[in-house]
């Protein structure tokens, strides 16, 4: 419902922003404001400020800004009405009563909630009775601990036709209320109503306030179909809006910055029991827009786990089609395909939390899964087939409504398509170069005659070269960051000519040829661009067992390991700008060395002053970089901790692991 402005102002007047924010963020007084570490991004230097006089907070690291209601929405995933209700109750401000029609609906919902609560208690009690022995045996088989059974209020629906109905009648509940709550079925032909759930392990489905609103029932007999049965849609339960375990997962998701999404409630329970509380399930439905937005309230990049079999892959592809139009800056999804068709429960049973966590750490971005779907097994041996693939990808990218994200996908796929097209003809090209021939132009590319890859000497991987490779790899992995920093990157001297040429060619692909089809320009790119692309970024990487570790960017992730844990793009952007600063510092150090080498015995005071000034500037920058690198390393630890990993792994051009 809508709340009048004067009511919201009254709540704001009774609660200062610092009081609400201070429950989650440690604030320190700085003049008229309070400062603290951002609750939205990992950091060591405060960039989050609260101004009680103006009634708002502002986070410079994330750009988020708002009042006390927005803060609860951003940090706890509450809807606006939920935030208003909570703060109104806290301050004693009376909310307006709903109109008569809404009041009747609310009373009806409250009544149904009482009925589902009574049903939950009935099922819990029956699990402990003699008739519940088969269900208890199943609980033991699924390795559900007593604390888990109690926490999730797992129960048992007797095999009798109307056991629940009789129980609720004895409590004064009428049949219509039972039917409205989805607990009984009333045949159209006038036969007596009967229980919807019979001979099933019962799992209550709770809303965001922890109230039982529906049930999921797992059949105890193979003859009972379907195996899993959910409550129907009711006034309380809308399957497309719900996330199972959402009320438990929300605080953990906000603390850790991540949430795991599984397909079924028993999988969610197994993951929770293994010590990963930030887990939800979608109740077996295809993703809805409401669920997508709700998952993003939990974390900016939820990690979706699917079985690695054909059904799981198809489910992931359906999910991507639903998600694609809603992608927006800073919000996406990552996907995990579990090995050998196992579900999370089976994987945890075999290898414990560590086995499941290892798979979660292999999660790949949505963009990679979509690319794999469209290109795997696709023939591109003719111009027409190349054009058809490019057209499919273009059509999919145009479904993204957010202009910035759409542009980032376009750049990424243009680069990948050019690499794919070239790779498909690699043997022929390599053979041609080996014979001394040339194909295409070297516009903006390499100096001298191109050589086949076998003739390219190994490149040193020292501090500077390693950092250059990370910077260029990040430009490929995050094309939107490359666009934002392009002028600075183009102006930097990357030292080695291959790196310089790669940088120029990448810029040309992003700008000069943006209106051309990929198939019309890729042949004009010097082949060594693609050889270096493999070295700087890397294509698909597999482990010793032949399993995919990274769909793309494997070499980049080897150099900059924290990328495996899906850090916020804002944090990656901070790292990129820091790396660029480091490269500029190296240029200054070389300039100082050159100045010193040219000093003669009769050098005047101006030369000495210039050298001294440059030396002081370099020293100051070194100290600043050391402090910043320590902060980034600590933030990397937090990012890894959120994914259950140990260590830092921020090995990139001097950032120690």
* Rounded mean pLDDT, 597-610: 71
Question: Which comes out higher in pLDDT, residue 193 or 629?
Answer: 193
Q: Output the six-digit token pair for 120.
A: 């939950």
Q: Are 553 and 478 in contact (CB under 8 A)?
A: no
Helix (H) or strand (E) holding 212: strand 212-219
CA distances to 250, 298, 302, 458 from 280, rounded to whole Å, are 9, 10, 10, 47
Tokens representing 32 are 């008229």
**pLDDT, position 635:** 85
pTM for this one?
A: 0.74
Contact 431, 617 (CB under 8 A): no
Per-residue pLDDT band at 106 (split at 50, 70, 90): low
CA distance 510 to 505: 9
What's the whole-number average pLDDT of the chain? 83
Counting residues of the chain whose pLDDT is more than 90, the rounded percentage is 39
Task: Tell me the two tokens of residue 14.
Answer: 């009774």
- CA torsion angle 175 181 183 187 (round to 10): 60
Please name the residue that has the structure tokens 């195996």.
Answer: 227
Most confident of 314-328, 441-455, 509-523, 626-640: 314-328
Q: Tokens standing for 366?
A: 């949505």
Asked if 583 contacts 468 with a C-beta cutoff of 8 angstroms, the reply is yes
Q: Rg of the Cα trace of the chain?
A: 30
- Sequence length of the chain is 657
155 neighbors 124 (Cβ within 8 angstroms)? yes
CA distance 640 to 647: 7
- Tokens at 279, concatenated: 């887990």
Under 8 Å between Cβ of 430 and 453: yes
Cα–Cα distance for residue pair 332/303, rounded to 1 Å: 9
- Backbone angles phi and psi of 45, in degrees to 5: -105, 125
Per-residue pLDDT for 538 more than 70?
Answer: yes
Contact assessment for residue 42 and residue 642, using Cβ atoms and an 8 Å cutoff: no
Please list the residues that pair with 63 across neighbouring strands: none
pLDDT at 421: 85
- Residue corresponding to tokens 């994914």: 643
Backbone angles phi, psi at 447, to 5 degrees: -90, 145
Q: What is the pLDDT of residue 234?
A: 93
Residue 562: exposure state from Cβ atoms within 10 A (0-12, 13-18, ≥19): buried
CA 268 to chain centre: 18
| pLDDT at 463 > cutoff 50 | no
Could you give the 3-state DSSP secondary structure of residue 284?
Answer: coil
Cα-Cα-Cα-Cα dihedral sign, residues 625, 631, 634, 639: negative
Q: Is the pLDDT of residue 217 over 50?
A: yes
What is the pLDDT at residue 280? 96
Q: What is the Cα–Cα distance from 620 to 615, expressed in whole angstroms? A: 9
β-sheet bridge partners, residue 305: 336
């Amino acid at each position: 419902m809508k709340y009048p402005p004067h009511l919201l102002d009254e709540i704001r007047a009774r609660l200062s922003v610092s009081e609400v924010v201070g429950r989650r963020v440690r604030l320190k007084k700085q003049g008229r404001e309070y400062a603290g570490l951002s609750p939205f991004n990992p950091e060591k230097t405060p960039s989050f400020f609260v101004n009680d006089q103006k009634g708002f907070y502002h986070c410079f690291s994330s750009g988020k800004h708002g009042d006390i209601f927005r803060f609860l929405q951003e940090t706890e995933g509450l809807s606006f009405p939920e935030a208003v209700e909570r703060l109104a109750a806290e301050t004693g401000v009376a909310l307006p009563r709903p109109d008569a029609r809404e009041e009747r609906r609310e009373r009806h919902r409250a009544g149904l909630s009482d009925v589902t609560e009574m049903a939950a208690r009935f099922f819990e009690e029956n699990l402990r009775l003699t008739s519940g022995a088969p269900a208890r045996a199943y609980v033991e088989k699924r390795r559900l601990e007593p604390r888990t059974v109690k926490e999730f209020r797992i129960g048992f629906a007797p095999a009798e036709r109307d056991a629940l109905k009789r129980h609720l009648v004895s409590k004064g509940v009428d049949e219509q209320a039972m039917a409205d709550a989805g607990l009984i079925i009333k045949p159209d032909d006038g036969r007596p109503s009967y229980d919807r759930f019979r001979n099933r392990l019962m799992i209550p489905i709770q809303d965001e306030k922890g109230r039982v609103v529906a049930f999921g029932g797992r059949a105890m007999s193979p003859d009972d179909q379907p195996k899993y049965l959910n409550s129907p849609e009711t006034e309380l339960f809308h399957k497309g809006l719900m996330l199972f375990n959402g009320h438990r997962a929300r605080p953990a998701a906000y603390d850790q910055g991540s949430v795991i999404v599984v397909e079924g409630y028993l999988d969610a329970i197994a993951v929770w029991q293994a010590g990963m509380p930030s887990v939800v399930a979608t109740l077996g439905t295809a993703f809805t827009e409401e669920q997508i937005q709700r998952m993003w309230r939990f974390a900016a990049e939820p990690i979706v786990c699917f079985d690695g079999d054909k059904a799981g892959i198809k489910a992931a592809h359906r999910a991507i089609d639903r998600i694609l139009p809603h992608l927006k800056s800073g919000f996406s999804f990552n996907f995990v395909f579990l090995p050998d068709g196992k579900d999370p429960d089976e994987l945890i049973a075999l290898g414990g939390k560590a086995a499941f966590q290892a798979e979660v750490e292999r999660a790949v971005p949505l963009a990679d899964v979509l690319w794999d779907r469209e290109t795997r097994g696709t023939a591109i041996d003719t111009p027409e087939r190349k054009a058809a693939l490019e057209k499919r990808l273009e059509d999919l990218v145009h479904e993204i409504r957010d202009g910035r994200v759409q542009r980032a996908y376009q750049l990424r796929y243009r680069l990948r398509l050019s690499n794919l097209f070239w790779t498909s003809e690699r043997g022929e090209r390599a053979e041609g170069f080996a014979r001394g021939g040339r194909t295409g132009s070297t516009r903006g590319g390499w100096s001298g005659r191109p050589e086949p890859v076998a003739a390219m000497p190994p490149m040193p991987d020292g501090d500077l070269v390693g950092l250059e490779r990370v910077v260029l790899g990040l430009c490929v992995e995050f094309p939107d960051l490359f666009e934002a920093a392009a002028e600075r990157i183009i102006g930097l001297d990357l030292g080695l000519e291959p790196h310089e040429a790669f940088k120029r060619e990448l810029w040309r692909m992003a700008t000069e040829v943006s209106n051309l089809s990929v198939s019309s320009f890729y042949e004009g790119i010097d082949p060594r661009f693609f050889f270096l692309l493999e070295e700087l970024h890397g294509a698909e990487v597999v482990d010793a067992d032949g399993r995919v570790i990274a769909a793309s960017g494997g070499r980049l992730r080897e150099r900059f390991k924290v990328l495996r844990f899906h850090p916020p793009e804002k944090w990656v952007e901070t790292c990129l700008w820091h790396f660029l600063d480091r490269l500029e510092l190296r240029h200054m150090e070389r300039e100082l060395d050159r100045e010193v080498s040219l000093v003669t015995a009769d050098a005047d005071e101006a030369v000495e002053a210039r050298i001294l000034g440059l030396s002081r500037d370099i020293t100051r920058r070194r100290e600043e970089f050391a402090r910043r690198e320590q902060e980034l390393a600590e933030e990397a630890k937090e990012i890894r901790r959120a994914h259950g990993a140990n260590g830092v792994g921020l090995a990139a051009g001097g950032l120690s692991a």
